[in-house]
């Protein structure tokens, strides 16, 4: 009991002076976000958060500081939503959608700086997908990506033509030095266009497509995967 009180005290030090306020988070109930259109939901710890379905919307209300999980089902498949409620009452929501027959882009980590650091290879993964679908050649390079993120805590909307990492489950920003926070996550990104450089000429790929980026913590080195 004393250990739990001390842990709670340590966690709440950064929130001294803040009082808990209920926050409501709105989540779209659609295939683009969840991979399914949910018909029912269940929250593991209802004292931490409450939620209800209203057609194509899901409303989640923070009730108490802590973490819990929400399961959504269409009667066959099940999507998972991880909920983190901060001591202030604000929420961070992480969606693990059903990917089914989605357009899957496998993302791995790559080494940089002579193996002394790692980085998530989002652009490299996208290029491999475009090469496989004959939308660009190996000598082309990707200059810009334009997309809307269905899961802003995992990957945010593109900014100035760049990939943006987003947030930890706690709500803290993910910096370039801690890309491993994205390991074993899925992000559905709705692309509008991609700009590539082909034979010295800028070319626009009007890729209006939802892509599921499945991120693993494997390292991509010299065109081979190693653990």
Is the pLDDT at 12 greater than 60? The verdict is: no
Burial class for 103, CB neighbours closer than 10 Å (0-12, 13-18, 19+): middle
Per-residue pLDDT band at 122 (split at 50, 70, 90): very high
Q: Is residue 155 part of a domain?
A: yes
DSSP 167: B
Domain end position, chosen among 81, 96, 111: 96
Domain end position, chosen among 61, 96, 131: 96
Per-residue pLDDT band at 202 (split at 50, 70, 90): very high
Quick one: 21 and 85 in the same domain?
yes
pLDDT in tens, 14-69: 455 568 899 999 999 999 999 999 999 999 999 999 999 998 999 999 999 999 99
Is the pLDDT at 227 greater than 80? The verdict is: no
Quick one: 81 and 107 in the same domain?
no
What CA–CA distance (Å, rounded) separates 135 from 132? 8
Quick one: 17 and 89 in the same domain?
yes
Give the model's pLDDT for residue 176.
75
Quick one: 107 and 196 in the same domain?
yes
Q: Is residue 44 part of a domain?
A: yes
Quick one: 47 and 149 in the same domain?
no
Domain end position, chosen among 35, 70, 96: 96
CA 60 to chain centre: 18
Per-residue pLDDT band at 11 (split at 50, 70, 90): very low
Instruction: Share the mean pLDDT of the chain.
Output: 86
Quick one: 91 and 65 in the same domain?
yes
Quick one: 153 and 217 in the same domain?
yes
Quick one: 48 and 158 in the same domain?
no
State the total domains in the chain. Answer: 2
152, 191, 119, 106 alpha-carbon torsion, rounded to 10°: 100
Q: Is residue 227 part of a domain?
A: no
DSSP 172: P
At 133, phi and psi to the nearest 5? -100, 15
What CA–CA distance (Å, rounded) separates 65 from 70? 16
Quick one: 218 and 117 in the same domain?
yes
Give the model's pLDDT for residue 100.
84
pLDDT in tens, 60-113: 999 999 999 999 999 999 999 999 998 999 998 999 999 988 899 999 988 877
Quick one: 66 and 116 in the same domain?
no
CATH number of the domain to which 12 belongs? 2.60.40
Burial class for 82, CB neighbours closer than 10 Å (0-12, 13-18, 19+): middle
Quick one: 166 and 77 in the same domain?
no
Question: What's this model's pTM, rounded to 2 decimal places?
Answer: 0.82
Domain of 50 in residue numbering reads as 2-96
What CA–CA distance (Å, rounded) separates 170 from 78? 23
Is the pLDDT at 5 greater than 50? The verdict is: no
């Amino acid at each position: 009991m004393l250990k739990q009180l001390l842990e709670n005290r340590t966690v709440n030090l950064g929130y001294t002076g803040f009082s808990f306020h209920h926050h409501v988070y709105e989540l779209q109930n659609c295939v683009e976000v969840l991979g399914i259109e949910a018909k029912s939901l269940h929250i593991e710890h209802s004292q931490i958060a409450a939620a209800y379905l209203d057609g194509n919307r899901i409303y989640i209300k923070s009730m108490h500081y802590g973490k819990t999980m929400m399961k959504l089902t269409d009667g066959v498949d099940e999507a998972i939503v991880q909920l983190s409620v901060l001591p202030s009452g604000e929420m961070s929501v992480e969606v693990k959608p059903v990917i089914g027959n989605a357009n899957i882009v496998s993302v791995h980590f790559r080494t940089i700086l002579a193996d002394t650091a790692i980085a998530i290879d989002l652009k490299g993964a996208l290029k491999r997908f475009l090469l496989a679908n004959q939308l660009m050649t190996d000598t082309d390079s990707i200059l810009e990506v334009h997309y809307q993120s269905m899961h802003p805590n995992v990957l945010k909307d593109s900014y100035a033509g760049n990939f943006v990492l987003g947030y930890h489950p706690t709500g803290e920003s993910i910096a370039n030095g801690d890309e491993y926070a994205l390991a074993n996550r899925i992000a559905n990104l709705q692309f509008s266009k991609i700009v590539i450089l082909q034979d010295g000429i800028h070319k626009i790929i009007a890729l209006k497509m939802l892509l599921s980026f499945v991120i693993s913590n494997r390292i991509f080195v010299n065109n081979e995967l190693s653990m």
